[in-house]
Amino acid sequence: MSDTTVEARGLDLVFGDVAALSEIDLTVARGDFVSLIGPSGCGKTSLLRVVADLAQPTGGTILVNGTTPHAARLARAYGYVFQAPALLPWRTVERNVTLPLEIIGLPKDERRARACQQLESVGLAAFARKFPWQLSGGMQQRASIARALSLQPSLLLMDEPFGALDEITRDGLNLRLLRLWEATNLTVLFVTHSIEEAAFLSSRIVVMSARPGRIVEVIESDLPRGRDLDIRDDASFHALAHRVRTALRAGHSYG
Amino acid sequence: MKESRALPIAVALAILLLLWYAAAVALNWTQANGDLLATMSLAKPLLPAPHQIAVEFWNSTAGQRIDSKRSLIFHAAVTASSMLAGFALGVAIGLLLAILLVHVRVLDRALLPWIVASQTVPILALAPMIVVVFGAAGLTGLVPKAVISAYLSFFPVVIGVAKGLRAPDRLQLDLLHTYDAGRRRVFTVLRWPSAMRFLFPSLKVAIAAATVGAIVAELPTGAESGLGARLLAGSYYGQTLQIWAALAMASLLAASGVGAVVLLERLVIRARGGRL
Amino acid sequence: MTRNALPLLFGVAVLLLWQAAVVGFDIPRILLPAPTEIFAALIADPSTLFADLNQTFFHSTLIGLGIGCASGFGAALLVDRSPFLRRGFVPLASLAGALPIVGIAPIAVMWFGFDWPSKAAVVAALTFFPSFVHTVAGLESVGALERDLMVSLAASRGQMLRKLQLPASLPFLFAALKVNSVLALTGAVVAEFFGTPTVGMGFRIATEAARMNIDRVWAMIFVVALCGSGSYAIIALAERRLAYRS
Ligand SMILES: Nc1ncnc2c1ncn2[C@@H]1O[C@H](COP(=O)(O)OP(=O)(O)OP(=O)(O)O)[C@@H](O)[C@H]1O
Ligand SMILES: [Mg+2]
């Protein structure tokens, strides 16, 4: 398997007269944690959907795990956490998490074991038998993360997964996600509107601008591995956040 | 970017027409002694071809004097009168009941299950009774038929309008309370305008139901004129073309009823600046 | 329990008033028999009653309802595969649902004879359109994200249908069943006016009304109402057991 997980060259995506993506060049190495940040409507979701083979680019090339996005999707190469939990209301939390496993045809015992493990890791073990409407918004979002992880994918696509949560819950989930990423060989493509979140989590931050949606700057993080929430008070963190903010401003003045 | 519906509908219609012709040929095959052209021109076919129905429809409308017993327009007018009378009566009862249900809590709890249950009684089961009861009171002809139509059409109006009158949310009601508005004022400035969105879909269902009611009411009332009577007569004498032409006219009646409501809806929408 | 007490009380009050009025004002029985007389007529001839019930409810209505709902459901599954066909057929089917379809009863008699199959055919034609329109709406009701989820998992068409679209359309299917259970009974009774063997609830009502046996007519109306409300109640109960909260 190649060392690049996502390789996009000159990617274009046009909806009618809206250029959602324009000449996107992006390389995501295996084990990277890449955040996409940019103003609303700049094409972050669109880029994720192209990687996931949920949208077809109108120009350029893209490889996922060295193959087409289509082949990668059929190989179940990635887990996708959507902007909303998108849990099926007629299934319990546990059966929502086992849904991907049912689809790939795992035996029942294996499914339950994996669901149990994933729910444990997002702190929802006690809620396995509950229905989605019996959970808070943050718990629902955690369940949807457990669902995406149940396939044990090598690539995790996350679209503003914590956008609707309160600050404290968000911090907790951020830390969990960071630990998971550090402990496994996971590659993460992560969309966010929060500069802090991007700076805290990422190994690289991709700053985008709107109309047409293009990449303004790619910022390498110099924060150490194994960091925790306190790093956000450090000067190095502030410097990184400042670079992201500056790039975002530059992007805004483009359009 | 709204996709056009004209082409898909045209294609669907073409598919249905083709299937119809195929079915006509297949069903009439033995009666026509295996003659393909004859399958589409029998006098009493098992299933007439669409163009046969169109010709029969034309002959019994444009080809007849309007006051003739053979004119479909005459029969349609008879049915339309009880349909419209029943619709008006049904809507009036429906509106009244809806207003009562929304304003009197006890009635809502006591009456609503019975209103729902009333619709699980097939109207035709009641039709002979209605005829007998009204006949004893000296009322024959239009009245019992209109009552039967009304019985079918009041229901969607009650349910829809009651829902609409309850549509205003807490904030809007509170706002009016701060103005010290009474029930009547709340009704005229808030509840009634909010109910519009629910009223028109209900009216569409109601007028379709009133048409069915008007036709069905002619069966047990022994009516000699009207589309239902025409269906019954056609069935006695095995006149399939006459039955299908009457069915076409009945469909046209129902469709124009619904069309009229849609038109009214458009007018109201325009008066309210483009939205309901 | 208290939720049902009020309407029950109302029903009992109406019955009492009815009895009192008929007896008190000596209303002609031709106009309105007393509830007790209706009850007497109801239990007078159980074998005829059962034969009528068997013919109209257990054959015409239920078999027709089954065929109509199943074929509407099947047609919806077919049409769901093509957005083009869906855009063409759904408006036509909604329009057809507003037309007086019971009118095909005389034609059904010519095709299928006087016995219950012709009534079942009318019922099937009546219930087809609501079943079709509601099922299509249900299958379409799936949210974009949920659909994306299944696509991202490379779910097959069958899995998409079984695990997402069908469960999501359950509320729509129940709505169609409720509408249809009422339509079906109406259709079965109406169809009997265009010729029937000498059995059936519609036939009984028509002949007893002609003979001025009004108490028997009311007894039959009561049975029909019981069938209608009963099937409606069973469907509503099943819905409460099966349907999910969202
Ligand atoms: N299915 C679609 N049809 C037409 N235009 C679309 C479609 N999806 C997205 N767009 C357009 O493409 C552009 C990028 O949309 P996208 O959803 O990728 O933005 P985003 O960066 O995810 O925004 P947000 O931060 O608000 O989620 C927007 O201008 C949007 O209007
Ligand atoms: Mg987005």
Taking the centre of ligand 1 as the mean of its atom positions, its distance from the CA of residue C231, in whole angstroms, is: 48
Q: Quick one: pLDDT at residue B135?
A: 75
User: Which domains, ranges and CATH numbers included, belong to chain B?
Assistant: 82-271 (1.10.3720.10)
Number of other residues whose CB lies within 10 A of the CB of residue A245: 14
Check pLDDT > 80 for residue C231: yes
Q: Which of A17, A18, A207 to mutate to test the pocket of ligand 1 (most atoms within 8 A of CB)?
A: A18
Atom index in ligand 1 nearest the CA of residue A38 equals: 21
pLDDT tens-digit readout, B204-238: 989 999 998 898 888 776 677 888 888 888 888 88
Number of other residues whose CB lies within 10 A of the CB of residue B42: 19
Q: Quick one: pLDDT at residue B8?
A: 87
Q: Cβ–Cβ of B9/C111 closer than 8 Å? A: no
In what helix (H) or strand (E) does residue B120 lie, and over which residues does it extend? none
Q: What is the largest CA-CA distance in chain A?
A: 55
The chains found to touch C (3+ Cβ pairs under 8 angstroms) are A, B
Check pLDDT > 90 for residue A227: no
* Pair of tokens at residue A238: 């502030």
CA–chain centroid gap for C146, Å, is 33
pLDDT tens-digit readout, B69-107: 778 888 888 899 999 999 999 999 999 999 998 888 888
Alpha helices (H) in chain B, listed in sequence order: 6-28, 50-61, 72-103, 105-119, 123-136, 142-165, 170-178, 183-186, 192-217, 227-236, 240-271
Band of pLDDT at residue B125, cut at 50, 70 and 90:
low
Taking the centre of ligand 1 as the mean of its atom positions, its distance from the CA of residue A191, in whole angstroms, is: 13
How would you label C179-218 residue by residue, b for 16+ Cβ within 10 Å and e otherwise? Answer: bbbbbbbbbbbbbbbbbbeebbbbbbbbebbeeebbbbbb
B187-196, C27-36, C56-65: least confident range: C27-36
Question: In whole angstroms, what is the distance from residue A228 CA to residue A235 CA?
Answer: 14
Q: Cβ–Cβ of A86/C146 closer than 8 Å? A: yes
**Angle at alpha carbon of residue C114, lines to B250 and B70, rounded to 5°:** 35
Question: In whole angstroms, what is the distance from residue B210 CA to residue B82 CA?
Answer: 9
C93 inside 8 A of chain B by CB:
no
* Pair of tokens at residue A2: 């190649």
Band of pLDDT at residue A102, cut at 50, 70 and 90:
very high
Average pLDDT, chain B: 85
Tell me which residue of B211, B239, B92, B229 sits closest to B148, measured CA to CA: B211
Check pLDDT > 60 for residue B2: no
Tell me which residue of B64, B58, B38, B59 sits closest to B49, measured CA to CA: B38
CB distance C209 to C217 below 8 Å:
yes
Amino acid at C23: V
Question: In whole angstroms, what is the distance from residue A10 CA to residue A26 CA?
Answer: 9
- On chain A, the residues whose CB falls within 8 A of the CB of C164 are 88
Residue of A nearest to C147 (CA): A86
Nearest CA, atom 16, ligand 1: A43
Task: Look at the block and give the residue holding tokens 């396995």.
Answer: A128
Q: What's the average model confidence in pLDDT over A235-241?
A: 93
Which amino acids bring their CB within 6 angstroms of ligand 1? Answer: A 15, 18, 20, 40-46, 213
More confident residue, C113 or B112: C113
Atom index in ligand 1 nearest the CA of residue A160 equals: 27
**In this structure, is the dihedral angle defined by the CA atoms of residues A232, A236, A239 and A240, taken in order, positive or negative?**
negative
CB distance C79 to C86 below 8 Å:
yes
Q: Quick one: pLDDT at residue B1?
A: 38
Q: What is the 3-state secondary structure (H, E, C) of chain A?
A: CCCEEEEEEEEEEEECCEEEEEEEEEEEECCCEEEEECCCCCCHHHHHHHHCCCCCCCEEEEEECCECHHHHHHCCCEEEECCCCCCCCCCCHHHHHCHHHHHHCCCHHHHHHHHHHHHHHCCCHHHCCCCHHHCCHHHHHHHHHHHHHHCCCCEEEEECCCCCCCHHHHHHHHHHHHHHHHHCCCEEEEEECCHHHHHHHCCEEEEEECCCCEEEEEEECCCCCCCCHHHHHCHHHHHHHHHHHHHHHHHHHHC
Q: Cβ–Cβ of A73/C152 closer than 8 Å? A: yes
**Angle at alpha carbon of residue C120, lines to C118 and C121, rounded to 5°:** 65
- By CB neighbour count within 10 A (0-12 exposed, 13-18 middle, 19+ buried), where does C243 fall? middle
- On chain C, the residues whose CB falls within 8 A of the CB of A52 are 152
Task: Look at the block and give the residue holding tokens 């069973």.
Answer: C234
CB distance B229 to B218 below 8 Å:
yes
Q: Quick one: pLDDT at residue C98?
A: 85
User: Which domains, ranges and CATH numbers included, belong to chain C?
Assistant: 34-242 (1.10.3720.10)
In what helix (H) or strand (E) does residue B218 lie, and over which residues does it extend? none
Name the residue ranges covered by the structural domains of chain A. 1-77+154-255, 85-152
Q: Which ligand is nearest to the CA of B1?
A: 1
Tell me which residue of C189, C174, C175 sits closest to C120, measured CA to CA: C189
**Minimum-distance CB partner of C149 among A82, A102, A104:** A82
Which CATH number, 3.40.50.11440, 3.40.50.300, 3.40.50.1220, 2.60.40.10, labels domain A1-77+154-255? 3.40.50.300
Question: In whole angstroms, what is the distance from residue A51 CA to residue B265 CA?
Answer: 46
Residue of B nearest to C222 (CA): B121
Q: Quick one: pLDDT at residue A1?
A: 52
pTM of the predicted model, to two decimals? 0.86
CB distance B149 to B91 below 8 Å:
no
Q: Which of A44, A47, A158, A160 to mutate to test the pocket of ligand 1 (most atoms within 8 A of CB)?
A: A44
Check pLDDT > 60 for residue C173: yes
Question: In whole angstroms, what is the distance from residue B266 CA to residue C234 CA?
Answer: 39
ipTM of the complex: 0.87
Taking the centre of ligand 1 as the mean of its atom positions, its distance from the CA of residue B68, in whole angstroms, is: 65
Check pLDDT > 50 for residue A255: no
Taking the centre of ligand 2 as the mean of its atom positions, its distance from the CA of residue A3, in whole angstroms, is: 28
Tell me which residue of B169, A77, A10 sits closest to B177, measured CA to CA: B169
Question: In whole angstroms, what is the distance from residue A53 CA to residue B17 CA?
Answer: 41
C166 inside 8 A of chain A by CB:
no
Q: Which of A12, A21, A42, A50 to mutate to test the pocket of ligand 1 (most atoms within 8 A of CB)?
A: A42
Check pLDDT > 60 for residue C204: yes
Spatial neighbors of C4 by CB under 8 A, at least 6 apart, are none
C141 inside 8 A of chain A by CB:
no
CB distance B219 to C190 below 8 Å:
yes
A3-12, A65-74, B24-33: least confident range: B24-33
Nearest CA, atom 28, ligand 1: A41
* Pair of tokens at residue C144: 């974009």
**Angle at alpha carbon of residue C118, lines to B13 and B155, rounded to 5°:** 70
A129-133, A210-214, C58-62: least confident range: A210-214
Amino acid at B107: L
Task: Look at the block and give the residue holding tokens 């819905």.
Answer: C239
Q: What's the average model confidence in pLDDT over A67-92?
A: 92
The chains found to touch B (3+ Cβ pairs under 8 angstroms) are C
pLDDT tens-digit readout, A144-186: 999 999 988 999 999 999 887 888 888 988 998 999 899 888 9
Question: In whole angstroms, what is the distance from residue A149 CA to residue A139 CA?
Answer: 15
- On chain C, the residues whose CB falls within 8 A of the CB of A99 are 153, 163
Q: Cβ–Cβ of C99/B208 closer than 8 Å? A: yes
B243 inside 8 A of chain C by CB:
yes
Spatial neighbors of C58 by CB under 8 A, at least 6 apart, are none
β A187-192/A33-37 pair status = parallel
pLDDT tens-digit readout, C119-151: 999 999 999 999 999 999 999 999 899 999 999
CB distance B227 to B215 below 8 Å:
yes
A198-207, B249-258, C2-11, C47-56: least confident range: C2-11
**Minimum-distance CB partner of B125 among C9, C182, C205:** C205
Q: Cβ–Cβ of B46/C182 closer than 8 Å? A: no
**Minimum-distance CB partner of B12 among C6, C89, C107:** C89
Q: What is the CA radius of gyration of chain A?
A: 18
**Minimum-distance CB partner of C92 among B7, B9, B234:** B9
Question: In whole angstroms, what is the distance from residue A30 CA to residue A44 CA?
Answer: 20
Check pLDDT > 70 for residue A250: yes
Nearest CA, atom 14, ligand 1: A43
Q: Quick one: pLDDT at residue C2?
A: 61
Q: What's the average model confidence in pLDDT over A204-221?
A: 90
Question: In whole angstroms, what is the distance from residue B151 CA to residue B158 CA?
Answer: 12
Q: Quick one: pLDDT at residue C3?
A: 67
A168-177, B115-124, C37-46, C153-162: least confident range: B115-124
